[in-house]
Amino acid sequence: MVEVIHGQIVSKANNYQAVPDGHGGSRIIKSAKLRAYERSFDQQCKMYRGMGISSPFRLNAVVWQSGCKYDLDNSLKTLLDCLQAAGAIADDNLCVEIVATKRIDEVDPRVEYSIEEIHKEIPMFDMREFYVR
């Protein structure tokens, strides 16, 4: 089942800002633009809301950007975070495969996505094999 979320997806990579924390330091917060997109996504997410997928899954996405300047990879992190916030997925670290395409639509930017649970055993490797001893 494919769900469509309308609006230009906002990259997480470029939408954080440092603000004073009131104690002489600073803290990092999301930009107003990113927070607005997350609210819009949350309001539009109907099909997958609350599914709580808690097994490995494949994310299929067609990201319709309003122009060429937007990066596909940065959009995917936002998409996964929004899916987690909407309760569609239990944790974005369960995503084991992403099939993504970038397209341009200046009039109607949007994200069309589906989530496929992968029920077969997925061989995971032990990261300790990659550490230098």
Instruction: State the average pLDDT for the chain.
Output: 89
Does the predicted TM-score (pTM) go above 0.75? yes
- Structural domains in the chain (count): 1
Q: What is the mean predicted confidence (pLDDT) over 78-85?
A: 97
Structural domain of 77: 3-130
pLDDT tens across 31-74, in order?
Answer: 889 999 999 999 999 999 999 999 999 999 999 999 999 999 99
- The pLDDT, as a whole number, for residue 55 is 94
1 pLDDT more than 90:
yes
How do strand 57-65 and strand 110-117 relate by DSSP bridges? antiparallel
Write the CATH number for 27: 3.30.1330.70
Q: What is the mean predicted confidence (pLDDT) over 69-91?
A: 95
CA dist 15 to 4, 44, 75, 96, 114, Å? 23, 21, 11, 25, 25
